[in-house]
Structure 1
């Protein structure tokens, strides 16, 4: 069970803080609810305490994990299936990765779609998925490191830009 003030990640929405735990009656049934404030989207969500785990809600990772994620963001291979246009199978895999709330799987989405965008323009669905993954990662960086959103966005964009530059150098060398 989470406590008031805990920093948590709600997959598909991002990281926030539990403002309170309250007893509420919803549809005639009383229960305990987390009131989760997700600042980067200006949203407050009521989550049944008993369903938090099923929804993939977890503690925000620590600073060391954030640093590790940013260091290795573009490590690993991309499944070639992603480069096929309109591949619904791969989009479904990305949606599962997002819903998992696993920061490493969310980073795979950023890595793979960034690589795909180098070859050809992303479609609307892929572009939205990339933007959502970036938003969720940056919201977790904000909560983990206690920094402003602009600084977190800058950190992520710097990693992405550096990876693009390294990739271009490798292509020129051979």
Structure 2
């Protein structure tokens, strides 16, 4: 597998980010300058709506019949992801946010609480929450996590709701950890602390 890599960034751009592997076994790197046409150059820190945050470590060209397509190679904490360059925007790939902006978005996610349907239909409610988790928006994912976290403080969550909460927390923490160069555990602890403060503010209101 040949992958273009920016020689100025070394063999693994972003390798200082703890929790992210520094190389993939079996990958043969091919040196070359990144073309300006690519929206996410090698070393870009990005978020995929379904898989969370990772680092663009290369661009691979694959031939399918007579067509040749380029793919972003994205390193995630536990896997490698290939995203077609021409479909990256449609799939919701985006750059990660700044740490200060992510903290502000988490604190302000209560403003999106009205988007979460207040219905007794559990299937419709979970489908709505699942849709928001797949949105790729840090704010909308944070609103789901906040909603479930506050609900959990009042009563035990169902197994399905626990899965949604855990999934949302993983998505938030992966972006927060990569943006602020933290371990995932540290990122989760800070998110829980912010959620706890919001819960206390809600109780005092």
TM range (shorter): 0.7 to 0.9
Give 3-state SS (helix, strand or coil) of 1:129's partner: helix
Deviation by residue 1:86-141 (Cα, 9 ceiling, x = unmatched): 52112121122122101110011011112222333222221111111111111111
What CA distance in whole angstroms lies between the structure 2 residues aligned with 1:47 and 1:80? 30
Q: Indicate yes or no: 2:128 matched with 1:93.
A: yes
Match of 1:34 in 2: 72
What CA distance in whole angstroms lies between the structure 2 residues aligned with 1:116 and 1:27? 52
How far is the alpha carbon of 1:28 from its aligned partner?
A: 7.4
TM-score, scaled to structure 1: 0.84
Q: Select the structure with the greater relative contact order (CA < 8 A; seq sep ≥ 6).
A: 1
Match of 1:156 in 2: 191
What CA distance in whole angstroms lies between the structure 2 residues aligned with 1:80 and 1:140? 22
TM-score, scaled to structure 2: 0.72
Q: Equivalent residues in 2 for 1:17-166 (5 A)?
A: 17-25=55-63, 29-39=67-77, 42-75=78-111, 77=113, 81-82=117-118, 84=120, 87-166=122-201
Unaligned runs of 5+ in 1: none
Q: Does the CA-based 8 Å contact 1:78-1:112 persist in structure 2?
A: no
Report the structure, 1 or 2, having the larger helix content.
1
Unaligned runs of 5+ in 2: 1-38
Identify which range, 130-139 or 115-124, moves more after superposition.
Answer: 115-124
How far is the alpha carbon of 1:165 from its aligned partner?
A: 3.1
Q: What is the number of residues matched between the two proteins?
A: 167
> Whose Rg is larger?
2
